[in-house]
Amino acid sequence: MQSKTTLNVDLLRADFPVLSREVGSAKKLVYLDSTATAQKPIAVIEAMNDFYRHHNANIHRGVHTLAEEATAMYEKGRKQVANFINAPSSRQVIFTRNTTEAINLVAYTWARANLQAGDVIILTEMEHHSNLVPWQILEAERGVRLEFVPVTDDYLFDMDAYRELLKLEPKLVSFTQMSNVLGTINPAQEIIRLAHEVGALTLVDAAQSVPHLPVDVQALDADFIAFSAHKMVGPLGVGALYGKMALLNAMPPFMGGGDMIKTVHLRSFVPNEVPHKFEAGTPAIAEVIGFGAAAAYLQNIGMDVIAAHEHEIAEYVLERLEEIPGLTVFGPSVEHKGGVASFVMDGVHPHDVAQILDGEGIAVRAGHHCAQPLHEKCGIQSTTRASFYLYNTKEEVDALVEGIYKVKKIFG
């Protein structure tokens, strides 16, 4: 039984089958790559299997029993996800393939219907490629102007520079609520408030924030937020776009086809209502059900409890990594960051660090983590990244540090 205020990590680890794996030469798995994808609890796995075993049918049209059950389960998934982010209505949650597709949906529908050459979009230097490239494509196609809020020397969102950029009267501010490299948690509510003051809409890349922090779309007053199931202990292959109702109603369709229509004639169609307007074709039904189960699983534990646990781990990680000579962590001080530690070691390439750690059973990631411009800004090619989630422990931090000392010994 979970305490209402602290996480019983040992208890909840039993929910995640993968965590009892051994890798390589019988090493216990220490999974520190949740920012790439999180592990899944039995509840999510079983929810999806249950659908395929007992309820599999196509949704929204059929009248037979299985179809009705499938439809109910799918729409329940939508409600669970909507609930998780405190959306006013579940109709405002649109299922996509992932965060990337959700952002592209906004770029292809809202942006192309509303922006023209010279219109300004504000992004930041710490964005993931998924919140950069869709806008670069739009720039090349349409001549919109991209401006970037810099990352400060303290690895924070440069609020002063942002205020200056807002004087350009941008149409859209699209930003990450939590950096997948730096761990920096940006003051989203404030960023959105300031954007609204100059008449700009906002899109929050919440791929990292929704899984790790309590996110309330109404409190944020966000116009759009995008996130993925798989980073919040849900299945791969499904994500969500939340949007304000008026915006979604006004946007033209994204993909055309079955289910997103009300009526179709040979030469014309009438689009369906939101959210169905944006969900063309047979969706990933089992995945949506898994998404809902993941949202319910996390909500049952409590996002503030999870965030508090991660904060404790983040503090401990930084403390221990700071002890290690020749190791530099990239990111802000701990009060501004989540459980992500990206670092470089003198004289050792991140690939080699990751490889040696793998030999000890420790899974981390090496590379630019889909943030090449950010790495360029920090003057580095690539980093090793260890990321933490609700199921990680301080003992695992100790294992990471021990592994790093082993790397130093080999390459020393």
Partner 1 sequence: MDDLYREIIVERYKTPHYRGHLDPHDIFFEDDNPVCGDHIEITLQVDEAGVVKAAAFDGHGCSISQASADLLVESIHGKSMDEVKALTKDDVIELLGIELGPVRLKCALLSLKVLKAGAYGLGVGEVSDDLVE
Binder among 187, 237, 253, 367 for partner 1 (CB under 8 A): 367
Closest approach, Cβ 29 to partner 1, in A, equals 16
Distance CA 33, CA 50 (A): 28
Is 382 a binder of partner 1 (CB under 8 A)? yes
What DSSP assignment string belongs to 106-155? HIIIIIHHH--TT-EEEEETT--GGGTHHHHHHHHHH--EEEEEPBPTTS
Query: Sign of torsion, CA 23 13 290 129?
Result: negative
Binder among 61, 163, 193, 351 for partner 1 (CB under 8 A): 351
Closest approach, Cβ 367 to partner 1, in A, equals 6
- Kindly report the backbone phi and psi dihedral angles of residue 241, in degrees, each rounded to the nearest multiple of 5, phi listed first: -115, 125
Closest approach, Cβ 89 to partner 1, in A, equals 42
> Which residue of the set 23, 236, 370, 401 is catalytic?
370
Q: For 243-377, where are the alpha helices, taking DSSP H only?
A: 245-250, 285-301, 303-322, 350-359, 372-377
Is 381 a binder of partner 1 (CB under 8 A)? yes
Burial of residue 259, with CB atoms counted within 10 A of its CB: 0-12 exposed, 13-18 middle, 19 or more buried:
middle
Which range touches partner 1 (CB under 8 A), out of 190-198, 232-240, 328-336, 361-369?
361-369
Number of Cβ within 10 Å of residue 105's Cβ equals: 25
H/E element holding 343? strand 340-345
Binder among 105, 107, 288, 366 for partner 1 (CB under 8 A): 366
Which range touches partner 1 (CB under 8 A), out of 87-95, 127-135, 207-215, 351-359?
351-359
Distance CA 230, CA 237 (A): 7
Cα torsion 114, 120, 121, 122 to 10°: value is: -150
Is 355 a binder of partner 1 (CB under 8 A)? yes
Q: Which is nearer to partner 1, 14 or 410 (CB)?
A: 410
Q: Which is nearer to partner 1, 23 or 308 (CB)?
A: 23
Which range touches partner 1 (CB under 8 A), out of 169-177, 262-270, 294-302, 352-360?
352-360
Both tokens of 399, joined, read 């294992």
Is 333 a binder of partner 1 (CB under 8 A)? no
**27 φ/ψ sector (left φ>0, alpha ψ -120 to 50, else beta):** beta
Closest approach, Cβ 410 to partner 1, in A, equals 6
Is 359 a binder of partner 1 (CB under 8 A)? yes
Binder among 230, 368, 385, 408 for partner 1 (CB under 8 A): 368
Binder among 69, 147, 216, 358 for partner 1 (CB under 8 A): 358
Which range touches partner 1 (CB under 8 A), out of 35-43, 173-181, 360-368, 387-395?
360-368
Is residue 378 part of the annotated active site? The answer reads: no
Tell me which DSSP letter residue 62 carries: -
Closest approach, Cβ 236 to partner 1, in A, equals 19
Closest approach, Cβ 411 to partner 1, in A, equals 7
Closest approach, Cβ 121 to partner 1, in A, equals 26
Both tokens of 50, joined, read 């249950």
Q: Which is nearer to partner 1, 269 or 411 (CB)?
A: 411
Cα torsion 346, 348, 349, 353 to 10°: value is: -110
Q: What single-letter amino acid sits at 272?
A: N
Binder among 283, 292, 350, 361 for partner 1 (CB under 8 A): 350
H/E element holding 165? helix 159-166
Q: Which is nearer to partner 1, 274 or 344 (CB)?
A: 344
Closest approach, Cβ 248 to partner 1, in A, equals 37
Distance CA 122, CA 202 (A): 9
Which range touches partner 1 (CB under 8 A), out of 90-98, 189-197, 255-263, 363-371?
363-371
Distance CA 302, CA 4 (A): 8
Is 349 a binder of partner 1 (CB under 8 A)? yes
Binding site for partner 1 (CB under 8 A): 349-352, 355-356, 358-359, 366-368, 381-382, 410-411
Residues involved in catalysis? 370
